[in-house]
Amino acid sequence: MKSANAEMILQNEQSSGFTDPLTGLGNRNRLREKVTQLAAERADDPAPFTLGVANLDGFRPINDLFGRDAGDEILCQVAHRLSACMPSGAIVTRHGSDEFAFVLPLVFERHGAERIGAMFKEVLSAPYDLGDRHVRLSASFGFAVYPFAGEDFPDILKSAETALYRSKRKGTGSVTVYSSEIADEMRRSTQIEQALRNAIIADEVDVHFQPIVNLAGDEVVGFEALARWTDADLGFVSPAVFVPLAEERGFIDILTETLLRKAAAAAVAWPHDLFLSFNLSSAQLTDLRTSQNVMSIINRVGLDPRRLELEITETAVVADPETASKIIADLRAEGIRISLDDFGTGQSSLGRLMDFSFDKLKIDRAFVSRITQDPAAEHIIRAIVAMCEGLGLEVVAEGVEDFAEALKLKALGCGMAQGYFYGKAMDRNAVKTFLAEKYIDFTGQFGRS
């Protein structure tokens, strides 16, 4: 016969196996138990219930910046807030480092899940008190409704995590409820991912080049490298699809290095007064090896670093500004120019100009496309051009599609432009033909015609 102390120890051990030691919430075991129990109770007449997963957006930088103790305090505050707003019969658990999960027995369909997700999102967006400071976070949510999204714990949890992944792709603070359409989309993404990985290995991802012109004399001064990929089974896949996918799935560095190698090798054969413009990804601006990798590639193919311009977006420098600043400084020290892309569409544009050293600014086509019809767009571009003149920055207008836009940009004093009006993206051989019309003896030694 067991003693009372032995029974108490056994109960404590069993309890700890279902409890998160930091927050006091249930853990993954508790989540599994609750879902399995509900599914068994509703097996004969499968009345729906909902499983949800929440992930804190941008928690890791907060943890790194303020320390582990501050991160733990935020997690405890999140746990308290979620516990306080759980509906009757629902439970919340800590699912992972910065993930929480909840079971909602009385949420039966998509609209109900979306409503409660919006409420949870609002609750978690309030400032977190860390004593001498306050921080803000958002959260992304994925929901799955039983039995439509799965009939046992592994399946319904996988569906909720798929919906969460979809929310993270859409942007911070999103709420997604699993559906067959989302499942199809995710399968399609995985199919594209596998095909792209194989294409990179087989060296089948190509680079095309769009001309950039000096508006004062309508002369070509350089080309922007643009990724292009046509798969034997998938057909043409837009870079707007496969480039973000490579970044999400963690192999953007391999893709970018492959594209830079090809682009730089092509640019070596151009007249030496033409520059190559190439886009760096957000991930590369958080990796201190980037400047060394870039120099290794262009040195290997023999491209003068002074002929290379690297484009970065405002969003790309937000994740890790200190590392991004170091990478930019290292690249500029080698003679590479840095261009701020899509200006005006990101966050804190003017602040970025003060915090980082840029050589050029590219006006987003969202402004350029409205310049002839919208006075506000014209005033914005006029102000950007004047500002850049004062800061010593060159300016390129993107997405110029007709003569009227080009004429207006010239009148406003914009220095350079690119877009369909000046030429679509061309492959390497088409660039040779294009330049042959403007240069004598396009064979490696050049002179102006």
User: What are the pLDDT tens digits along the chain (449 aa)?
Assistant: 444 454 443 344 445 588 999 999 999 999 999 999 999 988 777 789 999 999 998 887 777 778 888 899 999 999 999 999 999 899 999 988 899 999 999 999 999 999 999 999 999 999 998 888 888 889 999 999 999 898 899 999 999 999 998 898 887 889 999 998 888 888 898 999 999 999 999 999 999 999 999 998 889 999 999 999 999 999 999 999 999 899 888 899 999 999 999 999 999 999 999 999 999 988 898 889 999 999 999 999 999 999 999 999 877 777 678 888 899 999 999 999 999 987 866 554 566 676 678 899 999 888 998 998 889 989 999 999 999 999 899 999 999 999 999 999 999 999 999 999 999 999 999 999 999 887 544 334 333 33
First-to-final CA distance of the chain: 103
DSSP for residue 285: G
User: Across the strands, what pairs with 146?
Assistant: 49
User: Across the strands, what pairs with 340?
Assistant: 312, 361
Who's near 148: CB < 8 A, 6+ residues apart? 48
CA distance 79 to 388: 48
**Please, how many CA atoms are within 13 Å of residue 129, restricted to the half-sphere of its CB?**
4
Handedness of CA 263, 316, 413, 408 (dihedral sign): positive
Kindly report, as residue ranges, where domains of CATH 3.20.20.450 are found in the chain. Answer: 189-448
Collapse the DSSP code of 222 into the 3-class scheme (helix H, G, I; strand E, B; otherwise coil) and give the result: strand
Ramachandran region, residue 302 (left: φ > 0; alpha: ψ -120 to 50; beta: rest)? left
Which CATH superfamily includes the segment(s) 11-178?
A: Reverse transcriptase/Diguanylate cyclase domain (3.30.70.270)
* Closest by CA position to 399, among listed 422, 373, 418, 382: 418
Q: Which residue has the tokens 């010239």?
A: 410
Residue-level pLDDT at 352: 63
User: Across the strands, what pairs with 139?
Assistant: 56
Kindly report, as residue ranges, where domains of CATH 3.30.70.270 are found in the chain. Answer: 11-178
Residue-level pLDDT at 272: 93
The pTM score is 0.72
CA distance 406 to 357: 28
* Closest by CA position to 363, among listed 387, 316, 386, 395: 395
| Tokens describing residue 369 | 């496309």
User: Across the strands, what pairs with 301?
Assistant: none
* Amino acid of residue 150: G
Classify residue 263 as exposed, middle or buried by CB count within 10 Å of its CB (0-12, 13-18, 19+). buried
Question: Which of the four CATH numbers 1.10.10.10, 3.90.700.10, 1.10.10.60, 3.20.20.450 does domain 189-448 have?
Answer: 3.20.20.450
Residue-level pLDDT at 379: 92
